[in-house]
Amino acid sequence: MKPLGESIVEADAPDGDEVEAAWRSALALCGDGIRHGAALPKAKDSAEQQVFARSYTVKQAAKLVGVNAETMRKAAKELALDNFVDPRGAMRFPARTMKPTADDPDLREMIAGYERLRPSELRAVLDIDQRRLDHGLRDVGLAPKRLFWRDLRGLWDLPETYEEYRRLRGGKARDEDGGGRKRRRGGRARGRRKRQAETRLRNRLIDAFPKWRSDYRHQQTLFIHIGEPNSGKTHDALEALKAAGSGWYLAPLRLLAYEVFDRLNGAGVACSLLTGEEYIPVEGARITAATIEMFNARKSGDCVIIDEAQMLADADRGWAWTRALMESAAPEMHIIGPPTARKLIEVLAAAAEIPCEVVEHQRLAPIALAERHFTLESLPPSTILVAFTRQGVLDLKMKLERLGRTVSVVYGSLPPEVRRRQADRFAAGETEICVATDAVGMGLNLPADVVCFDEVEKFDGKNDRRLLPSEVHQIGGRAGRYGMSTTGLIAATNRQALQVIRALYEERPPELNFARVAPTADDLELIPGSLAEQLTQWAELKSIPEALRAVITTADMDERIALAKMLADETIKKLGLANALQLVNAPTRKTTRPYWLDCAYMILEGYQIPLPPDAPTPIRDGGDLEATELSIACADIYLWLSRRAEFATNCEEHAQVREERREWSLSIDEALLRNLNVARRCRTCGARLPSRHRYRICDQCFDGRRY
């Protein structure tokens, strides 16, 4: 047997054609412009070299504009600057649009508005002390820790442009340079000591990395079910679970866990349900359908199914798939995923010395690309219409209902029970069209003849970007479900979108490169500082053993860090690190963070946590719908905390909350059955907001608040 490091490197060697194809797709987004200072590309150059010549990295673009890289990244998001993500995962700006942007003084100044200012530099430019600066900032309602150029330009004696401010700042820096040389020498020494400390810490974390090889591995077999959507992968794996008699089905969504829970019990196989928010035990059950984070590897049973294996690479939740795959002790394991996940799974199995067999599945129903686009009026019955925002889905629902069509909706923030009812109506033929976000691409069984894309771009949590080939395959593959519809068609609602979808579908998706891991409390104990600092440093150190660095990387800690920053050090010390880490793992989003913080402080004081905010009844419009969804999201946090032994005594009203959540879900379902006006309106003036508007007030009201 070859050494572990060799086997991993060989198994992970990328296919040259696939890499080149991915870079060609990126090249198509660059256009004809050439980056300043880059040589003119030659015909023999690779697509990667041409992309480098025709685009700017964040640092290059920031240097061109005269701002920091973080400023450039934020401005790209807020100002919707033309950008894309290359096959290496780096943000890039096409030269054809970046150069004109940098040459336009007004656009440069707009970007510079997001530049964060240091109080020390501001004091030097204004030639004042900290006390006077603090007093001046209080007068204009600004916090010293969050100073942006857009809020300060033209104030006091500051110039009107950031370029002039930089010149003033540079002049002051030169005046102070003589006195700063000694400080810089001391700074270099401190930097050297810091790097040495980080190296020692990284080595300690690597020593603590889980050892996935075990004596029982030779008794296990991993079956890797590979195939496109609608190829019978899940069906075959569930048959194996039934035959084994005990074990787990692990899903990314409560909706899928519910579906398998119902399916197995309906077939006479006792199965319990376990999600982050609830547990439904079934008498005599030795099988559990669960969301993957709830998996108990010490009680694996005889068979474990891990569904949607492409989630191994998910930045936020992929750690749960890695843990389930590498820690399961079941003699028989089945992992289900697309062809792009095969190589990564095989490498991980080799790292843990798990014997594996690949089971290839072929699509059971034919699928084709439409020759012409559909309009909303011409959409055939049994169509899934895909948009990528909640409001986009609701706007399409209103438009279709005005045309006399019957509609179901499925989107991420919709409670699972409501998604299920909406999907069931579509499956039963009670509605003609199902308007859905990409949540529909995650294994939901819908008998659709057509999957029609209304959009070809989505917001991925950080940037607006073009759909990936893998996403088009995953979502479009829901057309033509075997045994439910006879054929499948992938389409779009306009000619340009159809051309994009056709090109993406015909392109082979790149292989997945990395699985994700998350820290344990024991890992964080090794790192000094506050919980937020511990999580940040753990992510930055990337303490992965050398043999695994080609296939393992760290999970995205952003949401956990944001929650940890909301807790005082004294609070974390009182809770204990393990409990504090559990607390920041709660299922939150920006809108539910204030409720989560209230819960955290009540837990700390030993009181019952607050009940979720009441939902409006009845639901009359889009604002009421959004408020009800927020109430349900807060209820999910309450129920999630109630299911943790550390916090259960603070959640004695869980039965009441569960019942209220059920009633709120029913009210949403009933509201969606009506022709509800769900148009978003400005919270201040009531004006209708565009469907892709990211804020709760209109631009006019926002400008009025600022000026």
Q: What is the DSSP secondary-structure string of 537-571? A: HHHHH----GGGTTTEEEPP-HHHHHHHHTS-HHH
127 and 93 co-located in one domain: no
633 and 535 co-located in one domain: yes
Q: Please give the pLDDT value at position 707.
A: 46
Helix runs in 590-621, H state only: 593-605
Predicted confidence (pLDDT) at residue 443 exceeds the cutoff of 60: no
Nearest to 56 by CA among 27, 98, 88, 28: 98
3-state secondary structure of 533: helix
Whether residue 47 is contained in a domain is answered as: yes
Nearest to 146 by CA among 155, 137, 154: 137
- The answer to whether 444 and 194 have CB atoms below 8 angstroms apart is no
428 and 539 co-located in one domain: no
Maximum alpha-carbon separation in the chain: 83
Q: What is the mean predicted confidence (pLDDT) over 478-489?
A: 75
Helix runs in 328-468, H state only: 342-352, 390-402, 416-427
Predicted confidence (pLDDT) at residue 344 exceeds the cutoff of 60: yes
Distance CA 544, CA 312 (A): 16
222 and 351 co-located in one domain: yes
Whether residue 691 is contained in a domain is answered as: no
Q: What is the mean predicted confidence (pLDDT) over 522-527?
A: 92
Residue keyed to tokens 């790149």: 510
pLDDT band at 418 (very low <50, low <70, confident <90, very high): confident
56 and 126 co-located in one domain: no
pLDDT band at 640 (very low <50, low <70, confident <90, very high): very high
Domain boundary among the residues 334, 360, 386 is at: 360
Distance CA 520, CA 543 (A): 13
Which helix (H) or strand (E) covers residue 234, if one does? helix 233-244
Q: Where residue 493 sits, what CATH number does that domain have?
A: 3.40.50.300
Q: Which residue has the higher pLDDT, 1 or 56?
A: 56
Q: Which residue has the higher pLDDT, 199 or 307?
A: 307
Note down the domain range covering 62: 20-112
3-state secondary structure of 192: helix
Q: Please give the pLDDT value at position 366.
A: 83
Quick one: CA dihedral 292, 297, 298, 303, positive or negative? Answer: positive
Whether residue 525 is contained in a domain is answered as: no
Q: What is the mean predicted confidence (pLDDT) over 345-372?
A: 90
From residue 627, alpha-carbon distances to 373, 384, 624 in Å are: 36, 26, 5
127 and 94 co-located in one domain: no
Pick from 150-154, 245-249, 633-637, 688-692: least confident: 688-692
341 and 232 co-located in one domain: yes
Q: What is the mean predicted confidence (pLDDT) over 290-313?
A: 94
Distance CA 547, CA 557 (A): 23
Q: What is the mean predicted confidence (pLDDT) over 524-549?
A: 90
Pick from 350-359, 393-402, 644-653, 678-687: least confident: 678-687
Whether residue 519 is contained in a domain is answered as: no
pLDDT band at 187 (very low <50, low <70, confident <90, very high): low
309 and 376 co-located in one domain: no
User: What is the percent of the chain with per-residue pLDDT over 70, rounded to a whole number?
Assistant: 90
3-state secondary structure of 297: helix
Which helix (H) or strand (E) covers residue 290, if one does? strand 287-291
Question: Per the confidence metrics, is the pTM higher than 0.85?
Answer: no
Nearest 5 degrees, angle CA 641-CA 646-CA 648? 50
List, as one string, the DSSP characters of 635-685: HHHHHHHHTSTTTGGG-TTHHHHHHHHHHHHHHHHHHHHS------B-TTT
pLDDT band at 117 (very low <50, low <70, confident <90, very high): confident
Domain boundary among the residues 328, 344, 360 is at: 360
Predicted confidence (pLDDT) at residue 172 exceeds the cutoff of 80: no
Predicted confidence (pLDDT) at residue 448 exceeds the cutoff of 70: yes
Q: What digits encode the pLDDT tens for the residues 551-597? A: 999 999 989 999 999 988 888 889 999 999 999 999 998 889 999 99
Domain count, the chain: 5
Domain boundary among the residues 87, 112, 137 is at: 112
Predicted confidence (pLDDT) at residue 12 exceeds the cutoff of 60: no
Whether residue 210 is contained in a domain is answered as: no
pLDDT band at 502 (very low <50, low <70, confident <90, very high): very high
Q: Please give the pLDDT value at position 484.
A: 64
Q: What angle, 0 to 180 degrees and rounded to 10, lies between the N-to-C axes of helices 593-605 and 558-565?
A: 50
From residue 52, alpha-carbon distances to 38, 40, 91, 437 in Å are: 8, 11, 12, 33
Q: Please give the pLDDT value at position 168.
A: 78
Whether residue 523 is contained in a domain is answered as: no
Distance CA 256, CA 290 (A): 9
Q: Please give the pLDDT value at position 417.
A: 81
Quick one: CA dihedral 455, 461, 464, 470, positive or negative? Answer: negative
Q: Please give the pLDDT value at position 470.
A: 86
Q: Please give the pLDDT value at position 174.
A: 53
From residue 660, alpha-carbon distances to 184, 608, 619 in Å are: 61, 17, 15
| Cβ atoms < 10 Å from Cβ of 221 | 14
| Cβ atoms < 10 Å from Cβ of 677 | 12
350 and 394 co-located in one domain: no
Residue keyed to tokens 């409501």: 418
Q: Please give the pLDDT value at position 691.
A: 58
Q: Please give the pLDDT value at position 36.
A: 81
Q: Please give the pLDDT value at position 10.
A: 39
3-state secondary structure of 271: strand
Pick from 5-14, 123-132, 482-491, 692-701: least confident: 5-14
β-pair type (55-57, 91-94): antiparallel
Whether residue 298 is contained in a domain is answered as: yes
502 and 543 co-located in one domain: no
413 and 351 co-located in one domain: no
161 and 80 co-located in one domain: no
Whether residue 33 is contained in a domain is answered as: yes
Distance CA 519, CA 521 (A): 7
Quick one: CA dihedral 495, 501, 504, 505, positive or negative? Answer: negative
- The answer to whether 476 and 501 have CB atoms below 8 angstroms apart is yes
Q: Please give the pLDDT value at position 13.
A: 44
Looking at every residue in the chain, the average pLDDT score rounds to 85
pLDDT band at 304 (very low <50, low <70, confident <90, very high): very high
From residue 671, alpha-carbon distances to 5, 495, 658 in Å are: 57, 34, 20
Pick from 240-254, 320-334, 354-368, 468-482: least confident: 468-482
Pick from 132-146, 164-178, 411-425, 637-651: least confident: 164-178
What are 131's two structure tokens? 């006390």
